[in-house]
Amino acid sequence: MRKREFAMCLLGAGLTVGLWACGESKLAAPAEAYQCQTAPQNATFTQNGLIRTFDPVIIERLGQANLPDAQGAQGRNQAAYFHVRFQTGISPLADYAVARENLTALDQAVRATEYSFAHQRPAGDFTLVIPSSLATQPPPTAADVTSGVAFFLASAGPALLAFDESDWYRNAAATASCRARVAALRPAVQRAAAWLVQQQSTLAAYDSLAPNRLYFDAVAYYSLGRYLNDEPTRQVGLRFARQAIRAQHGRGYYQEGGGYDSSYQGVGLALGFRLLTLLPATEPLRADLWNSLSCGTNWQASRVLASGEISTQGNTRVYPGGEAFLGTEKQVAWTSTMLACWDMYYFTGLDQYRELATRLIAHYS
């Protein structure tokens, strides 16, 4: 699988205006022939437990799809710092580091996190430096920038938890320097979490028509709350997850921009499964979240053609001539759907999901 394709799953996931505008929605009727279906959950995983179950080649390629440079910059920040919105490859890199006990990947994940927090402002948010090439375009709104911070924290938070959950990270002599570097970031993480809590009403309104972003928000709040042992912040994450679940149509798709979208459906599902692995077994939301993800993955499966291609017919957002991000038309985030299918396979043991995932890989790689 090509690195660029693996990287597409977390880029440009918003429905925005101004500089980060995505274009107009194309409303369409839902796929009326499909009826929502759920599957029984036959296994439970922690975040690291699920990652260890995956084919290590997939985890390695996901981790290496958005490597930081020597300073820790990822994506569009490598030319010059733009915003932490583009530091979203930290979590896949952390997954790979702890799953394979890879010191190089661990150092890279920590460096990317350090780079991000080096651009934090005293209030807890992060600086925005618009490139000169975009200076003539309308600037992003304050709400869009806030959503971009949530994107980053939805990657950094699970990464920090992946470290904490790893016996190798916590106990190996070789990881001691990385542990010290991460520990030094804790006050910055606390400031970011406190600032994000203050923005919850803004995000709840701004992201209401983009359930994939509600899942970004849920993962950001919940993971930070768990990492910091901050129950109120965890509860904010659960509220965003419930809001995302309520945005699901009875047929199984999350209603993006007033209809369905087979690209952002995958993005939301992948994030939802990430959240599921972070929840304790006693969390009451688990049952509703599982039913939503199971139903949603089965709807998404109905959009996968026999060839392995994800159909964009009827999509509200990503389709030929659809939304663009920073001047580039969006492509289907197929890796997110692939991850959701693998997740369903591991949680249910049903071969139909493994077959879907391998068909997607065969088509897009």
Report CA-CA distances (Å) from 221 to 102, 132, 138, 281: 28, 33, 29, 19
How many residues are present in the chain? 365
Half-sphere exposure of 10 (CA within 13 A, CB side): 31
Give the span between the Cα atoms of 213 and 262, in whole angstroms: 15
* Global pTM exceeds 0.85: yes
Listed ranges 4-8, 257-261, 327-331, 350-354; the one with the highest mean pLDDT: 350-354
Residue 357 tokens, joined:
């995932």
Residue 35, domain extent: 3-364
- Amino acid at position 183, single letter: A
Determine the Cα–Cα distance for residues 229 and 223; give it in Å rounded to an integer: 10
Which CATH number is 158's domain given? 1.50.10
Its sign, for the CA torsion 44, 46, 49, 53, is positive
Phi and psi at residue 127, in whole multiples of 5°? -70, 155
Looking at residue 34, its pLDDT comes to 61
Sorting pLDDT into bands at 50, 70 and 90, what band is 326?
Answer: confident
- Residue 174 DSSP symbol: G
Number of domains in the chain: 1
Reading the block at residue 209, the tokens are: 């028509």
Q: Mind listing the pLDDT tens digit for each residue in 85-142? A: 999 999 999 999 999 999 999 999 999 999 999 999 999 999 999 999 888 888 889 9
pLDDT in tens, 251-284: 999 999 889 999 999 999 999 999 999 999 999 9
Interior angle at CA 17, CA 224 and CA 260, nearest 5: 75
